Structure formats: structure tokens, C-alpha cells
Chain A
Amino acid sequence: MVVRVVESLGASTIGFVDHLGRLAVFAAQIVLQALRPPFRWKLLLKEIHKAGVLSLIIVGVSALAVGMVLGLQLYNTLVRYGATGALGSAVGLSLVRELGPVLTALLVTGRAGSATTAEIGTMVATEQLDGLRMMSVSPIDLIVVPRALAMVIVMPLLTVLFNVIGIGGGYLVAVGLMGLYGGEYQGNLEAALDFGDDVMATLIKSVVFGLLVGLISTYRGVSSAPTSAGVSAATTNTVVVTSVSILIFDFFITALWGFTL
């Protein structure tokens, strides 16, 4: 019994390290291919549209809801201490430092990351990637690089949008519902937010999260088993692994950012 547990643990560890190694090689291939012509600008724009423009509604609606809920919750807390004037800074800092980049990355993972894995996995199952290889075209070049790069490009843009709409949602609650003075909300927010500290942190986080989503979703697609069950498992795996990775990386970036400033 104990031997079996140890064996199973050992096999899982070896499998994990093996995947990490393959992921590192895959990442290096993407970087090398991205720097080497031909540069497929049209495909990149198409993927930016798919990952970015088509995610606008879910990101916008979620940001509005999160901003409004945050506004309500923080108002209920701050009003006990007579500090409702700090609502703007509380909503803004919560969104810009943490909720904006993390929630945007999780939303993009669920919408675009899973779709990327499913799409590439289906191409594996229907031998389309082998078809490309037989036409002397690298699937990394044609399929992977535009999708991975698109994630890195759209993530900061969507995060900024999430932050702006979220702050707007908080403003709606504070001013429209609770009757606070709009100038106070804005002024307080402007005084609390620091570009070098808060805004840069949100941008760096979103770029790192974009790299994670792009890398994991394309890797899981390319390495998925060529069956419908394999594609399904790879898609689920993308959402789980990317979401957990985002939360772990968020902790480390926040910790490192705090120490370095």
C-alpha cells in the first residue's frame, strides 16, 4: 500500500517535471519562431480580434458588476467609520492592484484560452497540424505564435478596460445610489493611485498573465490526445492549470513588487 502511494507520487512528480521541461522547450520554440520571418501580421490581427474584441462584452459586463458590488460593500463598511469619502480610493486601489488583472485573466482564460486549446486540439485530432508539416509549414509559426502573442497583447488592454469600467461601476453606486459627491470620489481616487506603483503593477501583472494564458492554452492544444475525449481533457486542463498559475503568480508578483519598491 505504502509502496504504491510512493510509486504513484513518484510517477506524478516525474510527469510534472516532464511537462515543465516540454513547456520550457515549447516556450523557447515560440520565442525563436516569433523573432524569425515570415511575420504573419494578418493572422496576428485576426487572433487579437478573437481573443480581445470578442471578449469585450464579458469583460465589460463583469467589470461593471464587480465595480458596483465593490462600491456597495465598501460603502457599507466605510459608512460605519464616517469615511465614505475614501470610497473612490478604496474601489480604485482594489481594482487596479488586484481584482482588475486577476479577474480579467481568469475571464480571458475561460473564454479565449479554452477556445484556443479546443481549436488547436481539434486541429491535432483531424491531422491538420500534420497536414501543415507536410506542406513544410511549421504549426508553431502559423498556429501557435499568433495565438500566444495575441494573448500577451490583449491582456493589458482588457485589464485597463476592466479597471476603468469597474471604477465607473463604483462611481455609479457611490454617486447615483448613495448620493456621494462625484468630485470627492474622483479626487480621492486620483490622489490615491500612483502611476509608477499601482498602474505599472497592473500592467506587469497583466502581461505575465497574458504570457501564461497564451503559453498554457497553446501547449495543451498541441499536446492534446487526438480524440474528442483528449481535446475535452486538454481544454479543462487549460482552464484549471492557467487559473491556478495566475493566482500563484499574482502572489509572487505582489510580494516581489512590494519588496522592490
Chain B
Amino acid sequence: MTETSAPSAAETAPRDDHVVLEGVGMTFGDRVIFDDLNCAFPRGKISVVLGGSGVGKSTILRLIAGLLPAEAGSILVDGTDVVGLSERGLQPVRRKIGMMFQAGALLDSTTVFDNLAFPLREHTSLDERTIATEVYGCLMRMGLTHAAQLLPSELSGGMIKRVALARAIIAKPDILLCDEPFSGLDPITAKRIELLLLQTCHEMKVTTIMVSHSVGATTRIADHLLVMLPDGNAQGSIEDMQNHDDPRVSNLLKFDVDEQFTAVVERLEASVRGGGGGLDSTWS
């Protein structure tokens, strides 16, 4: 995969990159996902990966986490190349990473409390009292103290996302990977997750790499963008991308499905309350 334009001023300035992918190649069977992917994610910033379905956005997160093996190139995570590392070799790298999976990936046979306590019990020597304090502190931040003893199957979609975020950050990682944190949520819950992510990332100064389809949320919270296209990618700040030479990149950031959806709902409600108009006029 190649860059679609020359690097901007922001890209050429010296930058402390926390995660760097160089010349990464990846295939699924006969299908080439990445041929020569090059991108970098700055330390302590929120980076968002945008792009259409099937371009390999979630695959980037899995490559960084070592959940998928790259077939070529290097992936530097805090200076360590994860390509070719064994599962055992990956463990020290993964301790620096928290990952929020799209569907939560919570352990379904244990309670919310135990899901959050699990990484602390595994990798720290904290006593149960301290672990409980940490877990309830994290749950309080997420507004979920009442759900501590519930099983994942008893949670709503928004609650699962919040528990997944809580579990991803409870061990205080340096890098946070979020796979579609706003997908499948109503606009209010999505906004709540957005605020929680923003607050968490800024308070913990964690390098955040997020895959998202939500252009609205992206423009509000991202410091750095990677826009993936079928024939290349572009990266830089929001301003860089909004003024990008490639109209596919600049236009993408003007198209906010969430805002359009909200506008349609408001017009529909007004139409119903006023007794006039109809769906045809609302959707026109």
C-alpha cells in the first residue's frame, strides 16, 4: 500500500511515534490485505483509523497486538518489533497494551467484577482488598458500580462496551487499542462512550489507536488520523485530512452519518408532533 500524497508539514516535523508499521504485508488466503503498509501512531495521542469496510482497519489493531502474524515488514510497539515473536515473547509487549474488542470479549462465565479483577490477579501482587478498590474505582468512572455482580449476558450493549473499556485500562496500559467502540450503539450511548474514551485517554496520557466508522466522533476526539483507501492510505492531523489533495479523503470527513441521522429523526419527530408532512417529505 502506498501513500496517496506527499507528507504534510505536520508529518515531517519530528514526532515521537509509539507504534510504527513499516512495509507490512498481510494476506488472508489469496486475498491481499496489505502489500506495503506504512503508518505510525504518535505517543500519548488519540489516533483514529478510518476507512470503508474490508480495507483492513481491524486487521491493523490485530497486527499491532500480535493476534495476527504479519507476513512481511516490521511492527514496532514501543520500540519492540512484534513480527515473528512467539506467544511467550509477545507477553511482555501485550502487558503494555489494553484492547477493547468490538463485541467486548468479556469472559462470559464470570461476573463484571471478576472480569476486571482478572488482569490484576494475574499480573500484580495486589491483595484482594486493593484489587476491589481498583475495580470499584474503575467501575465508578464508567458509571457501572451497580453492575459489578452481573454476568456479561445480563448487560446491555452499551454496558458491555463500558466494561470492555474498563477492563482494557484497569492495568494502566501505555497503549489502548479500540475496535469500533461506537458500533451498534444508539447515539446517546455512543456519545457517552466517546466522552469516557476522551476523558480516559487524556487523564492517563495513553496512546490510543481506534478503529471507527463514526466520522462525527472522529473529528471531535482524534489528534491523528489514518484514512485507509483501497489503493493507499493517508495520515496526519484532522486539518491535514480535511485539506487533503485526494477528494476521497477530504470528502470523507464532511460526511457525518450520525449528524444526518439525528437531523432526520428530529424532522420526523417534528412531523409527527405537527401532524403534517410524512415520511416522504422527511426523507427527501
Contacts and interface: CB of A to CB of B under 8 A. Distances in A.
Interface of A: 122-123, 126-128, 130-138
Contacts, number: 49
Given A126-B108, A127-B103, A130-B67, A135 B87 contact: no
A30 to B, nearest CB: 14
A127 B91 contact: no
A133 B94 contact: yes
A133 B66 CA distance: 9
Closest 7 CB pairs of A and B: A131-B105, A127-B105, A136-B91, A134-B99, A135-B119, A136-B94, A127-B101
Given A126-B108, A132-B107, A136-B123, 19 more contacts: A122-B108, A126-B105, A128-B106, A128-B107, A128-B108, A130-B101, A131-B99, A131-B101, A131-B106, A133-B65, A134-B94, A134-B98, A135-B94, A135-B118, A135-B119, A136-B91, A136-B122, A137-B118, A138-B87
B75 interface: no
Contact of A131 (B87, B91, B107, B122): B107
Contacts of A130: 67, 101, 105
Q: Secondary structure of the A side of the interface?
A: helix
Interface string B99-137: 101110111100000000011001100000000000000
Given A126-B108, A128-B107, A133 B119 contact: no
Contacts of A138: 87
Instruction: Say which size band chain B's interface belongs to.
Output: 20 to 34
B225 interface: no
Residue of A123, A126, A132, A136 most packed against chain B (CB within 10 A)? A136
A123 B106 CA distance: 9
B15 interface: no
Residue of A127, A128, A132, A135 most packed against chain B (CB within 10 A)? A135
Nearest to A138: B87
Contact of A134 (B67, B107, B108): B67
A122 B152 CA distance: 14
Contact of B122 (A122, A128, A133, A137): A137
A128 B101 CA distance: 9
A126 B103 contact: yes
Nearest to A137: B122
Contacts of B67: 130, 133-134
Nearest to A139: B87
A87 B33 CA distance: 69
A134 B106 CA distance: 12
Nearest to B164: A131
B202 interface: no
B97 interface: yes
A135 B106 CA distance: 12
Contacts of B98: 134
B141 interface: no
A128 B94 contact: no
A66 B171 CA distance: 55
30 contacts: A123-B108, A126-B103, A127-B101, A128-B106, A128-B107, A128-B108, A130-B101, A131-B99, A131-B101, A131-B106, A131-B107, A132-B107, A133-B65, A133-B66, A133-B67, A133-B87, A133-B90, A133-B94, A134-B65, A134-B67, A134-B94, A134-B99, A135-B94, A135-B122, A136-B91, A136-B95, A136-B122, A136-B123, A137-B122, A138-B87
Interface in B40-54: none
